[in-house]
A and B are shown apart, each in its own frame.
Chain A
């Protein structure tokens, strides 16, 4: 599925504009890559997961490049990405704190 989306984005720029027009897809890709990135840092990412991560990163890079070159308000996309990353970091640290507290109570 990710491979197909990557091929669509790579070969036809019209597909870039179509995918950039769906904000849900952007956050879906962020969530997907973030979840895989956590495992990548722990050196647990192998096989299918590694392939999905690589293709996801390529798709995201192509979409961002197309947006920056062709869309006038593409800076908003970058801005939303940074805000999303910051929020995700806060959420994960909070979740980790809750986990640590629960372990300490046990």
Chain B
């Protein structure tokens, strides 16, 4: 009989403890949800910041690409072409503003440079395509 009493008391007490546990679990889940929401908000803010920084970087690159010299040629293509020419002829790198001159002593020293120039031609501006480096 004693055993049965204890069982009954156990049976009666269980729901209260379960309720408490449920409440605790609910509180925990709510807290977790709030934390996740905060994290998501932070991540979206970070992504938005990254996007804005990327956009600004792209804009600056575009602005740099749109820079033109006195003759109306794109400066960035001009610089890339000069560096390719220096690679092709195995010359020392000159300053950014100066363009390399071609002499009769110049020899093509790199096959890879020719291949890169061929690829570059499609993207180069019209001025670079017919650019005259020799001023003689």
A residues touching B (Cβ–Cβ < 8 Å)?
Answer: 1-4, 7-8, 11-12, 14-15, 18-19, 21-22, 24-25, 28, 32, 48, 51-52, 55
User: Knowing that A28-B121, A48-B126, A48-B130 are A-B contacts, what are 9 other residue pairs whose CB atoms are under 8 Å apart, sorted by A's residue number?
Assistant: A2-B130, A3-B132, A7-B134, A11-B102, A12-B104, A15-B107, A24-B118, A48-B129, A52-B130
Residues in B lying within 8 Å of A, measured CB to CB: 81, 85, 102-108, 111, 114-115, 117-118, 121, 124, 126-134
Of all chain A residues, the one with the shortest Cβ separation from B102 is A7
With A11-B104, A14-B107 known as contacts, the answer to whether A48 contacts B127 (CB < 8 A) is: yes
CA distance A81 to B133 in the complex (A): 30
| 3 nearest CB pairs, A to B | A18-B108, A11-B104, A28-B118
**B131: nearest chain-A partner, CB-CB:** A1
Q: How far is the CA of A48 from the CA of B103 in the complex (A)?
A: 24
In the docked arrangement, what's the CA distance between A6 and B41, Å? 60
In the bound complex, CA of A51 to CA of B126 (Å)? 11
Which residues of chain A have C-beta atoms less than 8 A from B104's C-beta? 11-12
B108 near A3 (CB under 8 angstroms)? Answer: no
Question: If the complex has contacts A24-B118, A25-B114, are A4 and B108 also in contact, measured as CB distance less than 8 A?
Answer: no
Q: In the complex, A52→B129 CA distance in Å?
A: 7
Least Cβ–Cβ distance between A1 and chain B, in angstroms = 5
**Does the CB pair B130–A51 fall under 8 Å?**
yes
Distance of A47 Cα from B117 Cα, bound (Å): 22
Bound form: Cα–Cα A22–B128 in Å:
22
Selected from B114, B126, B130, the residue in CB contact (under 8 A) with A3 is B130
Given contacts A14-B107, A15-B107, A18-B107, contact A1 B102 (CB under 8 A): no
Task: Write out the residue numbers on chain B whose beta carbons fall within 8 Å of the beta carbon of A32.
Answer: 121
Contact B108 A15 (CB under 8 A): yes
List of B residues within 8 angstroms of A3 by Cβ: 130-134
Chain A to chain B contacts (Cβ below 8 Å), 15 pairs? A1-B117, A3-B130, A4-B102, A11-B103, A11-B104, A11-B106, A14-B107, A15-B107, A18-B114, A22-B111, A24-B115, A24-B118, A25-B114, A48-B127, A55-B130
